[in-house]
Chains A and B, each alone.
Chain A
Amino acid sequence: MDIIKQIKNVFEQAWKSLSPPRPFSWQTFIALSVFSWVMSLLTGSEFVKDAVSTLGWLFLTIGVGWALTDHPIKVFDISLGPWITGALACTGLFGTWTEGDSSLPYVSWPIISAILAGIPKFLKPGPVFTTPKPSARQDLVLLILVNLVFSCWFQFHFLIQDWLEGYPSLLIDDFGKSAFVTKLSSQTMEVSRGSALLDLAEPLVEEELENLSWAETESWLADVDQRIAAIKPEAIARLSDLTENAVWDLQAQVLSANPGYDLRLQAVWQGPSSVPAGYYVEKACLITRVPDPSGSPEDTQASNQVTCQPVGPPIFGQPNTPSGSEQQPTV
């Protein structure tokens, strides 16, 4: 019985503190906000839902702002109220903070909080709008400027993200020496788009060599630089269209392997990099001849691609295991 009485007491206390003492107080606004939220759940039409939920955010913002003015939460002598209220206002005005192109709430949050923090200086008890005293103006100036700097910092972050979206192959690189950014996760799961480029180049090369005789193949391989340069625009066109495509180059090297030839397809990165000469990724293709009863069809073999970090183009990285079946060479 005692416990039940205590629980009842707690509820009574909570109800007392949350119920509005006068019609025009912050509790009213919180209640209105909850009411709006419930209403928005009940209505079916999208438009009404949006309107009501915006109203709900507005009431919530006003309510919280008012509550925090009466009972401020302070950190190091600076009231946190305007920043919390500002965050709520930005959410209500600009939508979600995590999806899609979410830069607007972050960038506007410091400015709006500064404005909210500065509003009291413009009011005389009344409330009457007035220009602030000169002694209060210096604080206002510093408040607004500091928050503008924060906004600029947020904006810079989103600018960097935009750059990285255009040049995702940068993410596999080492950002240790940067004076501007840090890489938070040490794991790099990204695979350079050079691999995608080589995967796209492979069928094009196969297509080229498909119906050639061995002599023609050898002359193709002798002329490989120009042949690959001819394939390059097609291969790059098949990549997803990003700004970084302009700094990828497709090259090839031919070595003689014991049966046939070893064609190394190389995607060379010519853009920003921590290593001055850039890097390249390589795909080794073994080109051999398969005997056939009716003629001598060409058969090209691609083993896996290899990623490397070289100082200059002709230096290799680690080879991977070849995929696909081996063909018997002709003698």
Chain B
Amino acid sequence: MVSPILPLRMIAFQSLFLLITISIEAFVLHRELKLSNQKSIQYAASINLLSTVMGWIIFFIVEPFIPRELKEQLMNYIFFDQFFSNIWSGSLTALVIVTGFLTFFLSFIVKVQGLDLLQLLLQDRVTVNEPELDRANKYQMARRAVKDQRIPRGEATAILHANAASYSAIVLILLLRLFIQST
């Protein structure tokens, strides 16, 4: 059981990234949704932790199905921070870029749904940017039974901005690390 290899650096990095993304997203939510500081931090923390857990679960589900050579590339990246030449070397750049996009959009979806669920749970509906409806419009909307207004557009946009901001920060940190290592 006592093994010399422990994922301590991963824990450190993930904790650092979580702190940074939660702070950035809390700031964006606070500005765009006009939430109190405490509320925005709590919301940001909840949706980011949820997205992190979802990400891990997806990774654990997918991992057994990764083909052996690709898994060896993954191991090489995790253990030695580089890739080596095997049959997957050519496609790796494309794979990394596609994975990056996928994680951005999946995390965005998880966060939007997460916020919606959270507000439902906390009985905390925040209505933002709803224009003043006069009677005629209100009746019209009620007749159309607009179901897809459940997520007010304001919140989805705010989370999009928040996600973009936090991902940019992460990318900057990773680039910085790359830069420092190469000097």
Contact = CB atoms under 8 A, between A and B. Distances in A.
Contacts of B79: 170, 173, 175, 178, 180-181, 272, 274
A19 B56 CA distance: 47
Interface residues of A, number: 48
A273 B9 contact: no
Contacts, number: 131
A157 B6 contact: yes
Given A159-B60, A167-B75, A177 B46 contact: no
Contacts of A156: 7, 10, 56
A86 B5 CA distance: 26
A78 interface: no
Interface stretch (A6-14, A23-31, A142-150): A142-150
Nearest to A102: B1
B183 interface: no
Interface string A152-186: 11011101110110010011011101111111110
B68 to A, nearest CB: 7
A175 B80 contact: yes
Given A273-B84, A276-B82, A153 B7 contact: yes
B68 A180 contact: no
Contacts of A163: 75
A169 B113 CA distance: 44
B19 interface: no
Given A102-B1, A155-B60, A276-B84, A182 B9 contact: yes
Interface of B: 1, 3-11, 13-14, 42, 45-46, 49-50, 52-53, 56-57, 60, 63, 68, 72-73, 75-76, 78-82, 84-86, 118, 121-124, 177, 181
Interface of A: 97-99, 102, 134, 137-138, 141-142, 145-146, 148-149, 152-153, 155-157, 159-161, 163-164, 167, 170-171, 173-175, 177-185, 243, 246-247, 270-274, 276, 278
